[in-house]
Amino acid sequence: MVTIGDVARVAGVSRSTASYALSGKRSISAEVRDKVEQAVRDLGYTPNAGAKALATSQTQVLGLLARFLEDEFAPAMLQYILGVTNEARARGYDTLLITDEDGVAALRRISESRMVDGFILLNVAESDDRLGFLRAASQPGTLVGLPGDPTGLDVFDLDFVAAGRLMVETLHELGHRSLILVSQPEHVLERGGAYVSRLANAAQQRAAELGVELHHHFGASSQPQIGVELANLLDAHPEATGLLLNNEAAAAALPNVLQSRGLASPADISVIGRYSDDFARTFSLPYSAIDSAADELGRRAVERLVSRIEGTVDAESPVVDLFAPRIDDRGSTSVPPTRQ
């Protein structure tokens, strides 16, 4: 291992001088700086991360806590993870990926051993047991996903209330008066996935305001059940001309369901989904949808966290940043068909 002592010796200066020459925290003559830098290059010196962490109490590592829940669409998680790691690197941080079953224990372990400078929590639930510890931790933390009580924490999430309203308004403007909304399974909600009901409630309220009929259904999250449920829903509500999908599995199943019933979108039925752009591309889903913006949320969360770590942000101003939904138009909406 080449240490800063080696660099100092080769450059003919003391260790402290070498350190200052590299950090620039005290003025150093140009001559000495050059010699030190040359020595660094000649020896191939890289500072030892552990020693640096010990001396500075900074690790340049972020902890990324990912919760993987059963019945949740896992691939979407990858987008968040990539958004976080890429942005972290761009800002000079590496990412420790933590997937422990017991999130609180993991948080405690990582936090108290001072392995990271801050935390990003993914998949935050309505009532998340990790938040209590996080508020008291000595490192700052940022959430992706809005909990019931975000007090004192920075939060980034899609604005699901606005999303619910936007879906309904969009179809209402086109003239639709009867819609079906398919949500994630109810147990996702029970587990704390409040975004499901935030979207559904907002949609229902907006529908009521606009005089639109809205049939809400908690769909299964797996095939082939969800396909059957979709078919049943279409049977039960033949007057519905619009379908809103806050359920990835439903979106994936819909093409076959429509085809087997001889229905086309948007000619017979307008469809708006809520899933990631990436998901849509992978499965060529032809439905207009509100993008989950996973990578953008991860990006913003890191940006904010790093600001906190580096003290460039007022410590007493936690922020709840709800990303405004936008519909990626893939042509699956139109005026409702005229019926007899």
Nearer to a copy of itself (CB atom), residue 167 or residue 253: 253
Residue 205 binds a copy of itself, judged by CB under 8 A: no
* Binding piece for a copy of itself, criterion CB under 8 A, among 151-159, 189-197, 275-283, 316-324: 275-283
Residue 199 corresponds to which amino acid?
L
Are the C-beta atoms of residues 271 and 254 closer than 8 Å to each other?
yes
Least separation in angstroms between CB 284 and a copy of itself? 3
The residue among 7 and 194 lying less far from DNA, judged by its C-beta, is 7
228 counts as binding a copy of itself under rule CB under 8 A? no
**CB neighbourhood size of 195 (10 A):** 27
Quick check: 98 and 61 in contact, CB under 8 A? Answer: no
For residue 231, state whether it binds a copy of itself (rule: CB under 8 A). Answer: no
Mark out the alpha helices in the chain (DSSP H runs).
4-11, 15-23, 30-43, 49-56, 75-90, 103-112, 130-136, 160-174, 186-190, 194-210, 225-236, 248-260, 277-282, 294-309
Nearer Cβ to DNA (114/326): 114
Stretch that binds a copy of itself, among 26-34, 48-56, 199-207, 303-311 (CB under 8 A): 48-56
Determine which residue in the list 10, 17, 85, 294 makes contact with DNA, applying CB under 7 A.
17
Q: Of the two residues 20 and 275, which places its CB atom closer to DNA in the complex? A: 20
Looking at 23, 27, 113, 317, which residue binds a copy of itself (CB under 8 A)?
113
C-beta of residue 75 within 8 angstroms of C-beta of residue 279: yes
152 binds DNA (CB under 7 A): no
Answer yes or no: are the C-beta atoms of 98 and 163 closer than 8 Å. Answer: no
Binding window for a copy of itself (CB under 8 A); candidates: 10-18, 73-81, 195-203, 296-304: 73-81
Give yes or no for a contact between 177 and 211, defined as CB atoms under 8 angstroms apart: yes
Q: Given the rule CB under 7 A, which of 13-21, 90-98, 115-123, 292-300 is the region that contacts DNA?
A: 13-21
Residue 152 touches which of a copy of itself, DNA, none (CB < 5 to 8 A by kind)?
none
Binding mask 30-49 for DNA (x = CB under 7 A): -xx------------xxxx-
- The contacts of residue 115 (CB under 8 Å, 6+ apart) are 59, 61, 63, 96
List residues bridging with 290 in a β-sheet.
274, 327
Size of the site for DNA (CB under 7 A): 31
Report the candidate in 298, 300, 273 with the shortest Cα–Cα distance to residue 286: 273
Q: Which of 40, 64, 163, 180 binds a copy of itself (CB under 8 A)?
A: 64
CB atoms within 10 A of CB 275: 25
Buried b (16+ CB within 10 A) or exposed e, 122-138: bbbbbebebbebbeebe
What residues line the site for DNA (CB under 7 A)? 1-5, 12-17, 19-20, 22-23, 25-29, 31-32, 45-48, 51-52, 54-56
